[in-house]
Structure 1
Amino acid sequence: MRAPAAPSAAVSRQSHAYRQGLVLGLTMAEVMLLLVFCLLIATAVTLKRGQDARDVLEQRLRQAELAREADKRTSELLEKNSQLREALEARAASTDPAKVDEFWRKLVESAAVVDALAEKGLSRENLLAAADDIVQAERLKREGVDLSQAARNASLVAQIGKAFSGTAPSEEKIVEAIGKGLAAREASSGHRWPPIIKLSEADGYFFESGRAELGVNFTKTLRTSVADSLLKTARDYDVDVIEVVGHTDEQPLGSRSSNLDKGLQTALSNSSGVSALRPADNAGLGLARAIAVVGVLSEDKRLAGYKILPLSGAQLIKTDETLARGDTPGDVKERRRIEIRLRKSAASSNQP
């Protein structure tokens, strides 16, 4: 009689049989459940993709239906209104329904643009008149011009025009006005005065002893370099008065009668009359010489708008602008001079 198997051997056979029903540690039932779950996920993904594709197709279909409905209404409208259709065909230059419909859509889009512009303040009546301005604005924008800055510049130009009594000033006038404004601002803080032009015998500008007639070279200098300098200085400093001051040294003229009271007006109106003047003292001599210079400068048409005034410093003012005290009575060439000063008129502030 065979002896029964040991208990340990029976347990070992049962464990081996159990392991034969496992896959990756799972039973066959668990594996089947996992496969079914994966199939459900794949099915759900497929259904979702199909739903998305169907939604896209439905949206396109609705759009197509809307377009077809719009085309249908357009066609019905055109069929009912023969005059409108003929006008559209004439403008579209075709009887092809597709081209007519395309032209109609463009017409509708144009109407939408006109409505949008009207909402921004551009009326339908002014749209056609402003077409050139709109095109110009678009061209400037493409060229990189800031339209807002351009509008501010236009406002500035309008204000400048008002400052020039409503006239449109040239660029040169604007630059000149700005320069004057800057000069005036500097003058208000630093008191800038126009330079004094000095013409003395020591520099080669001669008068005959005791007389006021100008030499040839002296006259030529007054008409060229001196007049040019006066014009530039007057514009740079915005002045309108030119003062010509005649100075003498302290040598007395001697005893003689004067005819200045009778001859000054003639000499002022006719420079040739200077030769007839006979001053009796240095005060009169300085004035006569100033009148001679004024006569030459007044002939220059460029200085016609300025006030040119003759004055006399006689022998009282030294070259350093201090008063003479009779301490240099001799022949001093530097003292025999013409000084030309410029200033603004107290009664007028406008440049001629």
Structure 2
Amino acid sequence: MDGTPREENGISPVSMNGMNRRGLSSPIAAFPRPHGSNLPHPAARFNREPSTLSPMPEYVLGTDEQERIRLGLQHRLWAAHAHQAWERAGLRPGWRALDVGCGPGWASMDMAQIVGPTGAVFGVDESEQYVGWFNQGMRASGLPWASAVQGDVHQIAQTAGGHAPFDMGYVRWVLCFIRDPGSVVAQVAGLLRPGGRLVIQDYFNYESMTLAPRRAAFSRGIQAVAKSWRDRGGNPDVMGEMPALLGKAGWRVIHREVIQRVAHPHEQMWTWPTMFWKTFIPRLESSGYLTPRERQAFEQAWTEAADDPDSFIHLPPVYELIAEKP
């Protein structure tokens, strides 16, 4: 999954990623780039053509090649925080790691390089396309000790049981999009050895995402994103519930912190929300969460912010928890 929501009965937001798919054309390829930069123009101008995405896709932004690349950029922007968390959890050569909602395998590839041939990485994702890319990529990269299978994370005990026990589980931008995160972490507990660690990175206080200077039209769009999320069973503040859910499942929380990022125009991190707005904001209009006028105002606010060298965006806080199985 890697920053990507799943939704069976309608749209749901992505993790910008996480944290998506089916039938997505390049969200930034048509936009002019600033002179001397490999990044897209920070405004990434919105076009007014209707989305080619199906009304109720398995993944909101599709599972095509462009989305695979977008997820790779997303992982790269957040990779340092992932590596720090894995190091805190003790990930090292010889360990067996479980990637819950692995997507096309960007994080798993990094973990596979760390655990080496004496260890293993096993991923589970509901997208057949992503699982195929995962396994092909690992073979091409000389990492045959990493593999993935297609499966619903709500049934991960059954899907991954034959590969247990694991030393560490990793789940990033997954629990916020699923209907029963408590069940998933309880099942993962059964897949780890005693003393095994679970690393979770996900959202809390999502609606604090704000442009500076503040723009009312942008804030209205963030409210619409969060409402569409909750209406379909997700929870953009899921990390507020995780300590209790982990305790109920028998885990002991040993580390917690917040990762707060800020982005300015022409910085790499600015592309993270830009690529999300390009595809998801039109969906909010087509599903009734934004009026055409509100959508236009949101897009104008983002364009104006991108053209203002003094502006910045306070991104949604990503909370990190590490739990240990007694």
What is the TM-score with the length of structure 2 in the denominator? 0.20
Please tell me whether Structure 1 or Structure 2 has the larger radius of gyration of its CA atoms. Answer: 1
Larger relative helix fraction: 1
What is the TM-score with the length of structure 1 in the denominator? 0.19
Larger relative strand fraction: 2
Structure ranking higher on relative contact order (CA contacts 8 Å, 6+ apart): 2
